[in-house]
Structure 1
Amino acid sequence: MFRKYFKFTRKRVAFFCILMIGLLGLQYYLTGSLVSLQQVTTEAGNSNSAVIGILPDTEVIRQKFCFDRRVVLNSFSISFGSFKKDKVGDILHIQVMDGNNDVVFSEDVEVKDITPNAEFTVNMDQAVVIPKGVTCCIRMTCSSDDTPYALIPTVNTTNRTDPNTYMSTLKMQTHAKSMNISYSYSYRQLFPMVLFVLEILVLFVIIFERMTEYSARYYKRRQKEIKHSKKHKRTTRRSPRNFVKWVLSDPSVLLVVRILIIILNPLFLASMLEMMNGTFLTILPNVWLFTWILLGALEFLFTALIGNAGIAMLAMDLILFPIGLANLFIMNVRGTPFLPADILGVATATEVASTYTFSLTPAQFVVLPAFAIWCILIFRTRFKHQKRTISKKVIRFASTLVPGIAIIGILYNTNILPACGIEDNVWNKVSSCKANGFYMNYFINLHYLRVSTPSGYSKDKVAEILKDTSSVPASTQETTSVKLEDGKGITQDMPTNASFQSNTSMKGKKPNIILIMNESLADFSLVGDMRYNMDPLPFIHSLKKNTIKGRDYVSVFGAGTSNSEFEAMTGNSMAFFPSGCNVYQQFMHNSTFSLPSYLKELGYSCKAVHPSSGANWNRVATYKSMKFDDFITIDNFKKPEYVRYISDKESYKKVIELYENKGDKPLYLFDMTIQNHGGYLTNTNWKTPVSVEGSYYTEAKEYLSAIHVSDQAFQYLIDYFSKQTEPTVICMFGDHFPSIETSFYEELLGKPQSDWDLEDIQKRYAVPFIIWANYDIQEEQNAVISNNYLENMILKQAGIELPLYNQYLEKLSKEVPAMNVNGYMDTDGKWHNYNEDETDTIKTLLDDYEILQYGYYSDMDKDKMSELFKMKH
């Protein structure tokens, strides 16, 4: 009976075995064992938890918690801050209380076993089941000898009514999310496990079934039965058995199935991916409809090119689904979605991919076998190849190609998508991807693959703007500042680029200029108040003499390094480039006006250093365009020191080596470090690890420990040049903030990400910059600039005259102290979206800036532009 319905051939068995080995291997690698109980850790200081009682008279802490699922509590941990053991009780009493306020678990802990500034794990001898939605609590008291309530050691926890409030009761303070509850959720594993087993059974049936082989036999038998019934005027008896035979034998049924698969394939493809992304229920019906139409048009195009609808669907699914998985991976490691420009950066991504980890939840993984089932179903029901005449092939080709191109053309070139509420959120790509789904979000971002000519652009307009632009004499330059909050929430006046005059101490002598873009360098103390076990950047914070420090607003977060260096070395802003683009990859020219090309005119030797592959971000070609003399890459480092990647100190040793062998010309050197590059789950064994007090952020700890080593390396570099007599100015800035735990940033900013406004979002774009010189320059600790003004800051402190384009930037910075891809800052320190609340003055300045930038960088008539901007090319 078994062999009657299933056919086991060598090919089928081999295919099934390979498929099962692949799926089971992926399942174990990506999700872990489905059989064992999975441990999940949540913080008691989450949205379902709160401190509901802190009683100073009795020194009692009651921390409530509840869950949106039934959990089995088997352990939890408590974070203790600094405390003196002789000032608190001897025994800490910990109790877990259920929804009826009954004690269900109790344990006494000797205070001497508790380590200050560390967590203490409570392993429960019996598990406690907590029903869904039931509010329970953990209660802690302390006693000493005959005193029932002694002082409790400092406990770090969270006051959820106001996360920014520090509560203090005697020796107890509450701050940060620190009471962790680890629990098992075997019931959540049951559904994916059962579904996975069912999927394997379905795959077994699809691969080995032989019932469809009987269709020809059933068809002939059915035709005889129909003739016999007509002849004897009898009707065919209805039964499940006859219905199955009819389904197998009637060609129209298979035709309907094929048509349904063709129609539903685009929707099924999008649905499977969005289920993995967790956005299946958040995407609006209109987005689903247009995504269906978009992928249907692509299916038409694949069919036109391949000629067989079944094979075309397979090809499309096997290409687009992995691309969607790439989006899931990129979202996990850098916090931003996969965009069209990222295709050009594949080489860079693959180089650092080994440092990232990729995993799926069991619920996400079950989509992969479902995708395999769908692909096999398409293959098994595909139309067989048929010989057609040339005229029929042409008709078939045109009938699929024309509709496909027409649909995509309409969606791309008309306003039908915006009219239906499908738009790109330019300054929040994550939100845009969640609202539009991956495929639609990727499609609408294709609009940003070319630089649009600004309204009113002409060479005459460029000449007119430049004619009105002139350098402001230092003697008449006004001091400007903006009111901003420092990291501790105190508002103070902070100077901007326009506040700094050109340095006169050099008296015409050209100093060496070293510009360092430090990978992922961030100084969180500039944007929020956080407690660490030690200062991550003690040397940088100590710099005062001949030092200008502050925040530099860049245009990228988590990734996109080359866009930051592009802004810093050209004075251009990413605000006027297509959203999500990469300039080096997409818009590189044979000749580029830039800081190195200008300094080369002044007699500088220009070199670049990057302790990684020179192919990353198309830098080899781009630096040639910028007129760098040499580009030193990883190939030029012999037996370097590694701190995750080649260390910052090793990079600075190369800088010193190039300085010592520079010859008679002054040196301009651009150094891109890589030590602090993501990912941050590498578990490096740090000598002096830096962590957030009272919180457990694995990625943040890795990152903070890394920049602590970077700070030491920067001290090594400054110590060297402070002993040199040849004048040298060094500028270091971060390319972007690291992509680490969102919860870390939520704690840093004091509010959940869903509540962030433009002011909050910009805080994650405020990297530190430091300008230091071994000669007299202005001194400032809290300057505010944006990355397009960094070039001006460097040239002014070097005592070098600003080129004509940079003179316009100087004029612009008086009214717009900072700007980036997200918006612009006014002179009151307030951030605005572009084209909103712009005064006539600001609108004119920004419009003229866009026109000048287009001419300065994008206009291909370099001879005319060189004449207008008075730059060589």
Structure 2
Amino acid sequence: MKKINKGILALIVAVAISAIDIFYNGNGYSQLLLALAASFAVFNMPAIPDKLNKLPYSKLILFILNIVLLVFTFKHKVLLVNMLLLSYLIWSAVTPFFQKFKSFLPVTFLMCFVAVYAASFLGFSVPLFIFVFYPVYALGVLTHEKNIIKTPKIWLFAFLNLAGAAVLLVLFMYKALGQSVLSSILFTNITKLGTVTAVYLPFIGLFMAWFAASGNLIFHMLTSGFEKGNTAFDLSDYFKPVFSFISFFVFVTVITFLCEYSIRQEIKATITDMLHPNIMFNILVLCSLYMCLISLFGKGISNVLLSIVAIFLTIANFIKFTYFDEPFYPWDLYMFKNLIGICKDYLNIPIVIAVLVILAGLIFLLVKFRKNVLSYLKPGFNFVIMPFALILFLLNANVLADYRLSVQVGVQRSWYIGKAEILANGMYAQNYYYLTDLEKYLNPKPDDYSEETMQAISDKYPASVDNSVTASTVGGAVKSAEKPNVIAIMSESYWDLTKLNGLSFSKDVAENVHKYQRGMLAPPAIGGGTANTEFEALTGMSLYFMSPGIIAYNAYLRTETPSIASVFKDNGYSTTAIHPNGGWFYNRDKVYNYFGFEKFYDVSSFDMNTQTKGPHISDYALVDKILETLNSSDKPAFIFAVSMENHDPFDNKYSSFDVNVESDQLNSSQKSIINGYAQGLYDADQSLGKLIEELKKSDKPTLLYFFGDHAPRLGTLDDYYSVYDKLGAKQDSELKQGIGELKYYTTPLVTWSNFREMRSFSSIISPSHLSYEILKDAGVDHPNYFNIMPQLEEKYPIMHLKNMGLVDPDDELVKDYRLIQYDLLFGNKYLKSGN
């Protein structure tokens, strides 16, 4: 029987599929079948008898004719036969040169991937057939007229590659067609691809080339008896590069999945989102970074570096979303030492033991296999990968920087960052924005900041005429001319639980709060972030001008910063801060000193054996400490206290209860949380009543302020809004003021005095307004910048990141306020002592 020439067969196949391509318009999958059939012709092109070499300039003439034909048909439909001929002429010219290099075949797949992605962003249409099918041609060249060494391992290797490529190709084809971004995958006439197509097309091209190469190789092995074969081709030489290729994408996919899971915290949702355009783009971002690292340091070091970053981001985001329902920000590194303090309440012995066992195991393996580890981490510079890595990296950077490109895949830089943005943009794209905008987040210098501007602002807001202390008959015969003692208590997680529907209480958990309440605050956080409410109340500054996630104490405060404590100190007061927790938490042991507090009593000033209720120092013990401090001062006193008893978790917190809460709408776990929280509220309220009764006995004029730092987490750590949402809250005041979306943020404000009438606040206000109110009530001299607060309260009683629409950022009043804040936090503090 006459032997069949595969080159002639390839030509026949090429003509046939070209004819089909001309007269048949099918869907993506029929086009896929045509493309795979074309791959047979491509694979066997090296076997086509080359008669053209005998004719001078024949290939050049044929190349020019094909270019003319391509231009002529370009706006209509590029003919497959045209692309086959054009590709063959180019490939046959460049392959003899490239074939000299050892990494020739693996690099063709890399070239296919990067070239297709790069072509997607060109401003004109590019036929990608030449790039996508070159790996198939390259494999055909290597195996032409060679017998393949066939062993069980070779067959298994070939079929596993075919199966893996088939699954991935179908998966990406299905997703790409579902996105309506791909009508043909013959890669002959792709027009105006756009970013959405671009994130799918390189993978489709890569997996198609992989599948076509594997399929043609198996067919070649099955029919190798037709070949004369004077040399042997050992496919096992490609085990390692193929494994590296597979491990590259597996590694990228796994760490992307882990990072995305940490912000979604649902396996199903994460799996579903993995092939969405935004996450596909994030995978490409990580691919480019990974390739750059490999080209610079080698694969071992790159794997370790990316693993550390991915593990860190995964854990950090999981913790932030669990505790604060927001992502990890780069500036959260300032809070790293607080992580231990936050987590210790939730750690248990099995978790600690498991962590220690894992660490011990890792240390043992590192020591035992240290030679292997050092060999694995041997650095190396890869000249071959470097240009592809740079191209991919620069393309991704361009997409991230160009709104017109990034928005197509749902990735964009936002004026507001938080949970919604990182879910939309993906972990790596969003962290790119964090890092590139880091200076803006940490030090937003206004353009018009200067000493002259600040002096003008100081002159613009002189002291008002109602700054004096007004006597009344409230406290009896207290002298109004005497400087009053001032006590401010910020109660941990204090929120009015009676606002929830469907709850019945055995007794009033807020008896004294309801009796003396004069208004409501809208703290800047919920469920956590105590220090930010504290920052606003003590300084008169606002979190409105800061980026979401910022803890001012940790990110900003490194030098002396004016506060009402420093103002009272300048007016001859003793200034004391009390907080029965670790002084290092939120850097309070340093920040209070910067604020002008002369003394700070942390948990070490209390007795953990006799003064606790639940796991923390009780509110009754805190009140005792306040009274002790007040009575020991020979000067008028300013005392700022932050309670600790009512800190979460609330489940199984107390062994006995003074109050019981019932609800037929909650499950047993939620009831346990509510009962624990209600007990803490009751203790805070009763201790407040005790303090007021003691102060009534004093002949010293006294001002008292009591408020909650934020609403609590009522539910499990990963679902602490469930109770709020299930029961619903009474929100008459919030709706009246048009801030219904802040209904879970508002906390009660209690003010009391034994010598004057205290003001009732008709509007819900931000904690920042308390600072001026306290200074005004006390009648002390204060820097002029505080005098901006009455106008701000009248026009913008609430400045909150969750409701930016309440404030006009172009208002001169708001601009002045921002300049004041910049000067005191980041600038030269021109206003620090200006009166």
**CA distance in 1 between partners of 2:306 and 2:725 (Å):** 39
TM-superposed CA distance for 1:649, in Å, is 1.2
Q: Are residues 764 and 453 of structure 1, via their aligned partners in 2, closer, same or farther at CA, if it must alter by over 3 Å? A: same
The reply to whether residue 469 of structure 1 matches residue 461 of structure 2 is yes
* CA positional deviation for 1:679: 2.0
Contact kept, 8 Å, 2:471 with 2:755, in 1: the verdict is no
Matching residue within 438, 443, 448 for 1:451: 443
Match of 1:328 among 293, 318, 326: 318
> Which amino acid in the other structure matches residue 571 of structure 2?
L
- 1:806 is matched with which residue? 786
- Alignment correspondent of 2:674: 700
- Out of 820, 829, 832, which is 1:852 matched to? 820
| Pairwise CA distance, 1:579 | 2.1
Alpha-carbon distance, 1:283 to partner: 6.8
The 5-angstrom pairing of residues 792-831 of structure 1 reads 792-823=772-803
Q: CA deviation at 1:537?
A: 3.0
| Secondary structure, aligned partner of 2:337 | helix
Shift of the 407–810 alpha-carbon distance from structure 1 to 2, 3 Å rule, reads farther
Cα shift at 1:540? 2.4
String of CA shifts for 1:360-381, please: whole Å, max 9, x gaps.
Answer: 9xxxxxxx9xxx9xx99xx999
- Residue 557 of structure 1 and its aligned partner are, at CA, apart by 1.2
Superposition deviation, residue 587 in structure 1: 0.8
- For 2:453 and 2:399, locate their aligned partners in 1 and report how far apart those are by CA, in whole Å: 34
Does the Cα contact within 8 Å between 1:610 and 1:672 map onto a contact in 2?
Answer: yes
Match 2:642 to one of 650, 664, 672: 672
Q: Of 323, 329, 335, which residue of structure 2 is paired with 1:339?
A: 329
DSSP 3-state at the match of 1:349: helix
Residue in 2 that maps onto 1:611: 580
TM-superposed CA distance for 1:866, in Å, is 3.4
- The TM-score with structure 1 as length reference comes to 0.59
Partner of 1:866: 832
C-alpha offsets along residues 361-410 of structure 1, whole Å, 9 cap, x if unaligned?
xxxxxxx9xxx9xx99xx9999966989xxx7496998799789868976
Q: CA deviation at 1:588?
A: 1.0
Match of 1:348?
Answer: 338
RMSD over equivalenced CA pairs, Å: 4.1
Task: Summarize the Cα distance change of 1:328–1:401 in structure 2 as closer, same or farther, 3 Å threshold.
Answer: same
2-side partners of 1:358 and 1:429: how far apart? Answer: 30
8 Å CA contact 2:561, 2:825 repeated in 1: yes
* Aligned-partner residue type, residue 726 of structure 1: K
Task: Name the counterpart of 2:757.
Answer: 777
**Residues 396/503 of structure 1: CA separation in 2 closer, same or farther (3 Å cut):** farther
- Quick check: which one's strand share is greater? 1
Cα distance per residue 1:522-570 (max 9 Å; x no partner): 1144x654532235533324524xxx52210111111111111110000
| Alpha-carbon spacing, 1:454–1:758, altered in 2? closer, same or farther (3 Å) | farther
- Supply the AA of the counterpart residue of 1:744: V
Q: 2:702 maps to which residue?
A: 728
Contact persistence 2:820–2:831 (CA under 8 A): no
Assess if the C-alpha contact under 8 Å between 1:357 and 1:681 holds in 2: no
1:717 to 2:709 alignment: no
Q: 1:783 to 1:256 in 2, by over 3 A?
A: same
Letter of the structure 1 residue corresponding to residue 787 of structure 2? Q
Return closer, same or farther for 1:721/1:294 CA change in 2, 3 Å cut-off: farther
Shift of 1:352: 3.6
Alpha-carbon distance in structure 2 between the residues aligned to 1:800 and 1:291: 56
Structure-2 change in CA distance of 1:673 and 1:341 (3 Å): farther
Query: Residue 462 of structure 2 aligns to which amino acid in structure 1?
Result: S
2:619 maps to: 648
Question: For residue 295 of structure 1, what is the amino acid of its counterpart?
Answer: L
2:421 aligns with 432
The CA deviation at 1:257 is: 2.2
Cα contact 1:308–1:385 (8 A) shared by 2: no
In 2: Cα distance, 1:815 partner to 1:387 partner:
64
Greater share of helix? 2
Tell me, in whole angstroms, the C-alpha distance in 2 between the residues paired with 1:452 and 1:601.
30
Query: In the alignment, is the contact (CA less than 8 A) between 1:550 and 1:770 conserved in 2?
Result: yes
Asked if 1:299 corresponds to 2:290, the answer is: yes
Take 2:713 and 2:627, find their aligned partners in 1: how far apart are those partners?
31
- CA distance in 2 between partners of 1:744 and 1:424 (Å): 33
Find out whether 1:539 has 2:511 as its counterpart.
yes
Mind listing any 5+ residue stretches in structure 2 that lack a counterpart?
Answer: 1-142, 161-233, 351-357, 473-478, 716-720
Partner-residue secondary structure (3-state), 2:519: strand
CA contact under 8 A between 1:425 and 1:431: conserved in structure 2? no
Percent of pairs with identical residues: 21
Q: Could you tell me how far apart the structure 2 residues matched to 1:240 and 1:834 are?
A: 72
Q: Is the 1:459–1:855 contact (alpha carbons within 8 Å) kept by the matching residues of 2?
A: no
> CA 1:504/1:412 → structure 2, altered by over 3 Å: closer, same or farther?
farther
Pair 263,523 (structure 1): closer, same or farther in 2 beyond 3 Å? same
Give the whole-Å Cα distance in 2 for the aligned partners of 1:855 and 1:781.
Answer: 29
The AA in structure 1 aligned to 2:684 is S
The 5 Å alignment of 1:399-548 reads 415=403, 417=406, 421-423=410-412, 429-446=418-435, 447=437, 449-474=441-466, 503-504=470-471, 507-525=480-498, 529-535=501-507, 537-544=509-516
**Residue aligned with 1:658, SS:** helix
Partner in structure 1 of residue 237 of structure 2: 251
Q: Which amino acid aligns with 1:623?
A: Y
User: 2: distance between equivalents of 1:396 and 1:658?
Assistant: 72
Once the two structures are TM-superposed, the CA of residue 266 in structure 1 deviates from its matched residue by 2.5
Tell me by how many angstroms 1:667 deviates: 0.7
Match of 1:557 in 2: 526
CA distance in 2, matches of 1:613, 1:386: 41
Residues 337 and 430 of structure 1 are in contact (CA less than 8 Å); yes or no, is this contact kept in structure 2?
A: yes
Q: CA deviation at 1:252?
A: 1.9
Distance of 1:635 and 1:653 partners within structure 2: 15
Distance 1:680 1:291, change over 3 A: farther
Is the Cα contact below 8 Å between 2:618 and 2:644 reproduced in 1?
A: yes
State the number of aligned residues: 572
Displacement of 1:269 in angstroms is: 1.1
SS in 1 for 2:287: helix
The alignment partner of 1:355 has SS state of: coil
- Measured in 2, the distance between the counterparts of 1:777 and 1:652 equals 23
Unaligned residue ranges in structure 1 (runs of 5+):
1-229, 361-367, 476-500, 825-831
Mark the CA change 1:337 to 1:699 in structure 2 (over 3 Å): closer, same or farther. Answer: farther
Tell me, yes or no, if the aligned pair for 1:536 and 1:690 is still in contact at 8 Å: no
Q: Look up the equivalent residue of 2:665 and give its one-letter code.
A: S
CA distance in 2, matches of 1:818, 1:660: 36
In the aligned structure 2, how far is the partner of 1:794 from the partner of 1:443?
42
For 2:597 and 2:239, the matched residues in 1 are separated by: 68
Deviations 1:500-542, CA, capped at 9 Å, x for gaps:
x9645564421111111111111144x6545322355333245
Using the size of structure 2 for normalisation, the TM-score is 0.61
Q: Does the Cα contact within 8 Å between 2:327 and 2:419 map onto a contact in 1?
A: yes
> Is the contact between residue 516 and residue 671 of structure 1 (CA under 8 Å) also seen in structure 2?
yes
Cα distance in structure 2, aligned partners of 1:776 and 1:703: 33
Amino acid corresponding to residue 457 of structure 1 in structure 2: Y
**Does the 8 A contact of 1:556 with 1:736 survive in 2?**
yes
Name the counterpart of 1:40: none
Is the Cα contact below 8 Å between 2:568 and 2:780 reproduced in 1?
A: no
- Change in CA separation of 1:354 and 1:856 when aligned onto 2, cut-off 3 Å: closer
**Residues 553, 766 of structure 1: 8 Å contact kept:** yes
Q: Deviations over 1:792-814 (max 9, x none)?
A: 22222223355311111112212
Rounded to whole Å, the distance in 2 between the matches of 1:692 and 1:619 is 38
> Distance in 2 between the 1:253 and 1:381 partners?
21
Offset at residue 576 of structure 1 (A): 0.5
Q: Superposition pairs for residues 7-18 of structure 1, below 5 Å?
A: none
| CA distance in 1 between partners of 2:243 and 2:639 (Å) | 65
| CA distance in 2 between partners of 1:822 and 1:657 (Å) | 40
Deviation digits for residues 590-637 of structure 1, max 9, x if unmatched?
A: 210111111111001111111111110111221111121111111121
In structure 1, distance between residues paired with 2:568 and 2:652: 40
- CA gap 1:321/1:467 in 2 versus in 1, 3 angstroms: same
How much does 1:791 deviate? 0.9
The answer (yes or no) to whether the contact 1:737–1:765 under 8 Å persists in 2 is yes
- Paired with 1:680 and 1:617, the residues of 2 have a C-alpha distance of 22
